Chains A and B, each alone.
Chain A
């Protein structure tokens, strides 16, 4: 993660696919099943599409008034007794968190899942300063014990089999390597985590939503781990991206109806927890983090990505993500949303990501806040091309394609097979297995005997319709 070479996403995806014939089909199957549950939930709500449109508009409203709502949130949270901090980037976020922990003499921290804290690379920073950090979300803990980042924003360890987890737990927490029953493994982690919750001097959470009107923030989990972390240690620190702001409490009705349905295919998460100031006898710190968000707000083509509520639906529906896995992206955010978020952190490093897509558009179709994800992927390709970040194979093949599509006569010639180009040259360029790793797991479709244009012209002539060319 620390080098600045472009992530070779296709090569990494290929490694995931080729490791055996178990992981990739399992990954694909689980995520597609989640997608089907999401689809059933969406179909059961007559107002589903209306809710998506409302959510999109509320987010666009909040983001185009972000300065006002952030200061309102700050004022209300402060008035309720929370201490609000501002961090320009990940480094400042980590410094603030460490300063708070240090001031309390805290050496043990229990945290729930927070993509923002991942983004800030907080855990290694704190551990280097002597803080023991324990992830309390099961999937996130599995990834922590394995020294891997989460591969999915909702199911961090979804790329692992139960056997992988059984062996990992045997190695790290001393369970039976041959017992891979998920119930047994979950129970083992529950018993391992409980003393850590009780010993922790501080609990950390992220936030799904922050409400300007009341200074409240909302954390949604299924395990209840965020709530234990917030309810047991005396100190609660929440990291909140500045784009999480919603104007009013009533807006939550719209977003909670969409979030879990889109993410896991359930009506709600098991716990939707609302924190408004510190709990009785506790202390609450809120760190509002920019880390590139204000800059993204100024990117005309890309600011809509700030509407994201991190549900993971775009990943579950994505044919490329489901096959290649989340670790292939080599970034905090994977899947279609990662493709459009990651380059805002580092264009060069993530220059390959926009090509890790079929542009099928399914991500845009399922996004609960109507982010134009696939359109943004295409726009990122243009950015990468304009900066000459394209790998050689793509530059060559795009040059050919660009020339051909600019000259329709040549396109028709190619299509009819009059020239050897479609059979040889583009195949060599597009599907050369050395130049383009994409060709390895796929094959170019066969050229049809009759082109659509020929069929269309013949068909229309038979019906006596005018020639579309005239």
Chain B
């Protein structure tokens, strides 16, 4: 601990000694003009480019039926939402390792961002964070009224002090590390589908 205090103090002292003479002031971030209307259609378009897809869903029953139709082979459907029962409740999972066998993970995102087709999801939405990453496939519920235009607006909605983990998720896991060829399902989810369903 003593050595640590020494390192901390010596780093900070070195920084203070070497600070550039000119103290640059912090610029304000302006509000940029928005042109992305209609917002939902643009969001779907960007989501598609990121390798995900969106579906309009009328009711929780329809959501469950849609999920079954999309993943007929799925044995383990782990759900963090009341709308879809699944075969396992995320709330019952204590250890993230227990999610290694999940075929489809289901959770609700707080809002979507047109730019990049991303959704904001937190530890509380996932219940167990690993649900978003160990599941082979993801189904994400999103209220179609909860979409913002860009990352500036997105960060105005994010409450960093309320969660230990939050993620802008833009489609499934992807890599282009072998000959720059795009492949989905590198380490995380192989697919991501957004179900537009109002929050109950």
Contact = CB atoms under 8 A, between A and B. Distances in A.
Interface string B147-161: 000111011101011
Interface residues on A, range: 35 or more
Nearest to A65: B23
B183 to A, nearest CB: 4
A54 B168 contact: no
Given A198-B97, A224-B187, A228-B133, A162 B160 contact: no
A223 B173 contact: yes
A249 B27 contact: no
A269 B96 CA distance: 24
A270 B172 contact: yes
Interface stretch (A80-88, A343-351, A389-397, A422-430): A80-88
Given A290-B11, A295-B18, A277 B186 contact: no
Contact of B15 (A58, A189, A297): A297
B151 A256 contact: yes
B26 A227 contact: no
A273 B167 contact: yes
Contacts of A303: 20
A253 B46 contact: no
B17 interface: yes
Contact of A47 (B32, B50, B170): B32
Interface stretch (B54-62, B63-71, B75-83, B174-182): B174-182
Contact of A298 (B17, B26, B130): B17
A65 B166 CA distance: 27
B50 A294 contact: no
Interface in B106-144: 115-118, 123, 128-130, 132-134
Contacts of A279: 123, 129, 164-165
Contact of B186 (A63, A85, A190, A280): A190
Contacts of B51: 270
A156 interface: yes
A57 interface: yes
Contact of B100 (A46, A194, A247, A275): A194
Contacts of B187: 136, 138, 190, 193, 197, 223-225, 228
A439 B14 CA distance: 43
A190 B189 CA distance: 11
A157 interface: yes
A272 interface: yes
Given A186-B175, A253-B155, A271 B169 contact: yes
A295 B14 contact: yes
B12 interface: yes
Contacts of B171: 270
Interface residues of B, number: 75
Interface string A106-148: 0000000000000000000000000000001111001000000
Interface stretch (A260-268, A320-328, A411-419): A260-268
Contacts of B177: 137-139, 142, 155-158, 186
B156 to A, nearest CB: 7
A250 B155 contact: yes
Interface string B84-105: 0000000000001100100000
B8 interface: yes
B145 to A, nearest CB: 22
Given A30-B179, A228-B130, A242 B29 contact: no
A216 interface: yes
19 contacts: A61-B25, A64-B24, A66-B19, A88-B10, A155-B180, A161-B179, A182-B178, A186-B183, A224-B187, A224-B189, A227-B167, A231-B165, A232-B130, A253-B29, A257-B152, A268-B115, A268-B116, A270-B174, A276-B163
Given A222-B186, A250-B152, A271-B188, 17 more contacts: A67-B16, A86-B8, A186-B178, A214-B161, A224-B189, A225-B188, A230-B165, A231-B133, A231-B134, A249-B158, A257-B115, A268-B50, A274-B166, A280-B123, A294-B11, A294-B15, A295-B14
Interface of A: 26, 30, 33-34, 46-47, 50, 54, 57-58, 60-61, 63-67, 70-71, 80-81, 85-88, 92, 136-139, 142, 155-158, 160-162, 165, 182-183, 185-187, 189-190, 193-194, 197-198, 211, 214, 216, 222-225, 227-228, 230-232, 242, 247, 249-254, 256-257, 260, 264, 266-280, 288, 290, 294-295, 297-298, 300, 303
Q: Which 7 A-B pairs have the closest CB atoms?
A: A224-B188, A298-B18, A268-B116, A139-B177, A294-B14, A267-B116, A223-B186
